[in-house]
């Protein structure tokens, strides 16, 4: 979608930003809610596991106390000693009902069930949990989860003492829906029991209706110092955080029994869902109010912005005189004043740039305008070009001042254009002389070549210029050029109130001296050996010898520059 007006874009941005903030808030609340719910459920599961274990231990203690009570009962011992097993069965049934147990039996020392309340039989039959009897024989008593008649029981076995063990008493509590419901009421968790035989899990009982996935064997560790493993399971269209607790089984048993504690994530998130619904309602109302406020705000901003846009477009087109009138005391009014001040500043700067460009070269003007003006310079390798009109004083004696000025302007304009064309900078005009720099303020890898090519073109252009001067009744002129390459100091020099971008050093003096030597050697262009060695192209030169430059003790080898070297054929 494209928006061509500032008002529509501002409104779109405002609404989008608010919408993103609302979405981000909801995402953050959802993530925080799920994370917090997970932490709360995990803590509840850990607490529930501790309650579960204490309850199961309490049931085992209750069984143990009841069993030891019967073990010490004199009448029961007397009934056993008479081998009157129907009487024994009746005593077992009465004791079972009194303590609220689900099963009781009397077992001989050799593992035969003598009386059993589940079957009502007094005929001897093998006890189905011999491993539990072995533990009881070794430790004096034993308890475990057992399978009797296809049902699961919490079972404890204690000896019948007379005074030595003469038989075993077994008491069991049924593991059924009543136990699961009792555990749920105490822990607030869903409770399920599973039995595993030969790799197949089957549910025993559960407080959850419908299909429940079997344990995944991510069971709670037996070490109290370590946290239990809590994992997420999905079934019945919901997600459940789950904790598994393995329950004791007799040694050698072909089954395992596991308790599973679970809590619904959806149930835990119900308060957060209500909070999210409230946030959505508040966010929707806030978005609508914000949209109306955004429309009003954007309309008050768009009009002055359009006026400022027109002014900036005028400035972009070069009309720095454009001004805008916005009578406001807010940021828009401050912006309008700033734009007007900017336009005025640009107008003044353009005037200064135009004036400065006529006084110095464009490169120097840019250098001065782009940096803070202060005295100082830097060392840089440059190629310095000096040119001068020979016998100009003699020529000027035969011309009026206006004619002299006209000739100089024609000559200097032509030569300065050639220097600028080759990337050089006219440092200054000294009467009829020109000092030019190649390599400052902007440097190139071929500054020496640029200087030599400029000198050759200047010499060639002089011939055409003389034709023009002769046609205007002015005298022909001759020119000498000296070129030297050296490390010099370039920068702003002068005083704090008046300074000049220029170059100083022996290299400048040598170039000036070489220009003077063009008269003695009757050559148009003389270059130093260092300049020749700095070039990348081949030139037609003539060795002139060595000369001493005033102020230097080492002679300088000089060459006459005749032109570009001819290509071998």
**Burial state string for 316-351 with b = 16 or more CB within 10 A and e = fewer than 16:** eeeebebebebeeeeebeebbeebbeebeeeeeeee
pLDDT at 225 over 50: no
Structure tokens at 37: 């719910």
- Whether omega before 389 lies within 30 degrees of 0, making that bond cis, reads no
Percentage of the chain beyond pLDDT 70 is 75
CA dihedral sign of residues 539, 542, 546, 548: negative
pLDDT at 543: 94
pLDDT at 305 over 80: no
Structure tokens at 527: 């270059």
Beta bridge partners of 480: 388
pLDDT at 358: 47
**Burial state string for 2-40 with b = 16 or more CB within 10 A and e = fewer than 16:** eeeeebeebbeebeeebeeebeeeeeeeeeebeeebbee
pLDDT at 207: 87
**Cβ-contact 143, 80 below 8 angstroms:** no
Rg from Cα positions in the chain:
55
Cα separation of 365 and 501, whole Å?
Answer: 9
Tell me which fold the domain 372-564 belongs to.
Answer: Alpha-Beta Plaits (3.30.70)
The string of pLDDT tens digits covering residues 113-150 is 888 988 888 888 898 888 888 888 888 888 888 888 88
Residue of 520, 366, 511, 355 whose CA lies nearest to 437? 511
CA dihedral sign of residues 52, 53, 58, 63: positive
The SS3 assignment for 222 reads coil
* Neighbour count for residue 357 (Cβ, 10 Å): 14
The string of pLDDT tens digits covering residues 358-378 is 444 555 555 555 554 445 578
Structure tokens at 159: 């000896």
More confident residue, 306 or 525: 525
Same fold, 72-174 and 372-564: no
More confident residue, 357 or 541: 541
Helices (H), 6-129: 6-71, 74-81, 85-99
The string of pLDDT tens digits covering residues 499-550 is 677 888 888 999 999 999 999 999 999 999 999 999 999 999 999 999 887 7
pLDDT at 374: 47
pLDDT at 422: 93
* Secondary structure string (H, E, C) spanning 246-315: EECCCCCCCEEEEEEEEEEHHHHCHHHHHHHHHHHHHHHHHHHHHHHHHHHHHHHHHHHHHHHHHHHHHH
The SS3 assignment for 151 reads strand
CA 147 to chain centre: 60
393-420: average pLDDT = 84
Q: At what angle do helices 6-71 and 270-316 cross, to 10 degrees?
A: 160
**Cβ-contact 452, 539 below 8 angstroms:** yes
| φ, ψ dihedrals at 548, nearest 5° | -95, 125
163-182: average pLDDT = 87
Cα separation of 164 and 170, whole Å?
Answer: 17
Cα separation of 360 and 429, whole Å?
Answer: 10
Token pair 């077994």 is found at: 170
Cα separation of 245 and 222, whole Å?
Answer: 9
pLDDT at 1: 47
Can you spell out the DSSP letters for 131-149? Answer: HHHHHHHHHS-EEEEEEET
For residue 476, CA distances in Å to 399, 409, 430 come to 13, 15, 20
* Neighbour count for residue 154 (Cβ, 10 Å): 23
Q: Which residues contact 489 (CB under 8 A, 6 or more apart)?
A: 377, 378, 379, 380, 503, 504, 505
Beta strand 479-494 with 125-126: parallel, antiparallel or unpaired?
A: unpaired
In the chain, domain spans = 72-174, 372-564
More confident residue, 150 or 567: 150
Structure tokens at 162: 């007379």
The SS3 assignment for 82 reads coil
The string of pLDDT tens digits covering residues 71-106 is 777 778 878 888 888 888 888 888 888 888 888 888
The string of pLDDT tens digits covering residues 450-508 is 999 999 999 999 999 999 888 888 888 889 999 999 999 988 876 665 667 788 888 89
pLDDT at 336: 65
**Cβ-contact 311, 339 below 8 angstroms:** yes
Cα separation of 168 and 223, whole Å?
Answer: 32
Cα separation of 559 and 253, whole Å?
Answer: 114
| Average pLDDT along the chain | 80
For residue 195, CA distances in Å to 42, 144, 437 come to 24, 14, 99
**Burial state string for 371-405 with b = 16 or more CB within 10 A and e = fewer than 16:** eeeeeebeebbbbbbbbbbeebeebbeeeeeebbe
pTM above 0.75?
no
Q: Which residues contact 44 (CB under 8 A, 6 or more apart)?
A: 187, 188, 189, 263
432-454: average pLDDT = 91
The string of pLDDT tens digits covering residues 40-73 is 777 887 888 888 888 888 877 877 787 788 777 7
72-174: CATH, from 3.40.50.720, 1.10.3720.10, 1.10.150.110, 3.30.450.20: 3.30.450.20
412-417: average pLDDT = 92
Structure tokens at 34: 């799920």
Q: Which residues contact 156 (CB under 8 A, 6 or more apart)?
A: 60, 63, 64, 67, 141, 142, 143, 170, 171, 172
For residue 536, CA distances in Å to 66, 446, 450, 453, 469 come to 114, 7, 10, 12, 36
């Amino acid at each position: 979608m494209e928006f061509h007006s500032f008002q529509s874009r501002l409104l779109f941005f405002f609404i989008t930003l608010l919408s993103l903030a609302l979405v981000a808030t909801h995402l953050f609340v959802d993530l925080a809610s799920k994370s917090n719910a997970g932490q709360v459920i995990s803590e509840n599961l850990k607490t529930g596991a501790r309650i579960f274990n204490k309850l199961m231990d309490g049931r085992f203690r209750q069984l143990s106390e009841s069993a030891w009570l019967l073990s010490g009962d004199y009448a029961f011992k007397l009934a056993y000693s008479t081998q009157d097993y129907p009487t024994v069965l009746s005593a077992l049934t009465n004791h079972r009902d009194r303590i609220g147990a689900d099963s009781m039996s009397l077992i001989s020392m050799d593992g035969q069930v003598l009386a059993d309340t589940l079957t009502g039989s007094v005929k001897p039959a093998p006890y189905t949990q011999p491993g539990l009897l072995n533990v009881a024989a070794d430790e004096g008593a034993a308890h475990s989860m057992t399978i009797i008649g296809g049902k699961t029981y919490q079972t404890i076995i204690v000896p019948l003492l007379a005074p030595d063990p003469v038989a075993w008493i077994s008491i069991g509590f049924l593991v059924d829906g009543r136990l699961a419901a009792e555990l749920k009421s105490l822990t607030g968790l869903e409770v399920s029991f599973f039995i595993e035989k030969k790799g197949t899990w089957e549910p025993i009982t559960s407080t959850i209706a419908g299909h429940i996935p079997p344990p995944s064997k991510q069971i709670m560790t037996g070490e109290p110092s370590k946290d239990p493993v809590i994992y997420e399971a999905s079934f019945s269209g919901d997600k459940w955080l789950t904790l598994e607790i393995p329950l004791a089984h007799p040694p050698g048993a072909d089954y395992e029994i596991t308790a599973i504690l679970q809590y619904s994530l959806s149930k835990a998130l119900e308060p957060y869902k209500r909070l999210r619904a409230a946030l959505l309602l508040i966010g929707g109302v806030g978005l609508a109010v914000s949209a109306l406020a955004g429309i009003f705000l954007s309309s008050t901003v768009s009009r002055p912005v359009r006026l400022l846009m027109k002014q900036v477009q005028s400035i972009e087109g070069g009309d720095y005189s454009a001004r805008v009138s916005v009578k406001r005391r807010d940021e828009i009014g401050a912006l309008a004043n700033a734009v007007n001040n900017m336009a005025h500043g640009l107008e003044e700067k353009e005037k200064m740039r135009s004036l400065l460009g006529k006084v110095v070269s464009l490169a120097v003007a840019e250098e001065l305008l782009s940096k803070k003006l202060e005295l100082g310079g830097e060392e840089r390798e440059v190629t310095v070009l000096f040119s001068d009109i020979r016998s100009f004083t003699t020529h000027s004696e035969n011309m009026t001042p206006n004619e002299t000025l006209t000739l100089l302007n024609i000559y200097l304009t032509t030569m300065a254009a050639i220097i600028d064309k080759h990337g050089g900078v006219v440092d200054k005009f000294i009467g009829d002389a020109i000092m030019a720099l190649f390599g400052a303020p902007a440097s190139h890898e071929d500054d020496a070549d640029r200087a030599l090519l400029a000198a050759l073109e200047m010499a060639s252009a002089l011939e055409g210029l003389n034709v023009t001067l002769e046609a205007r009744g002015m005298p022909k002129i001759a020119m000498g050029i000296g070129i030297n390459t050296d490390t010099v100091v370039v920068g702003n020099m002068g005083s704090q109130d008046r300074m000049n971008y220029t170059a100083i050093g022996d290299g400048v003096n040598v170039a000036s001296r070489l220009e003077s030597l063009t008269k003695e050697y009757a050559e148009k262009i003389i270059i130093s050996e260092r300049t020749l060695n700095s070039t990348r192209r081949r030139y037609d030169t003539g060795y002139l010898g060595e000369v001493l430059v005033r102020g230097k003790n080492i002679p300088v080898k000089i060459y006459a520059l005749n032109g570009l070297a001819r290509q071998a054929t």
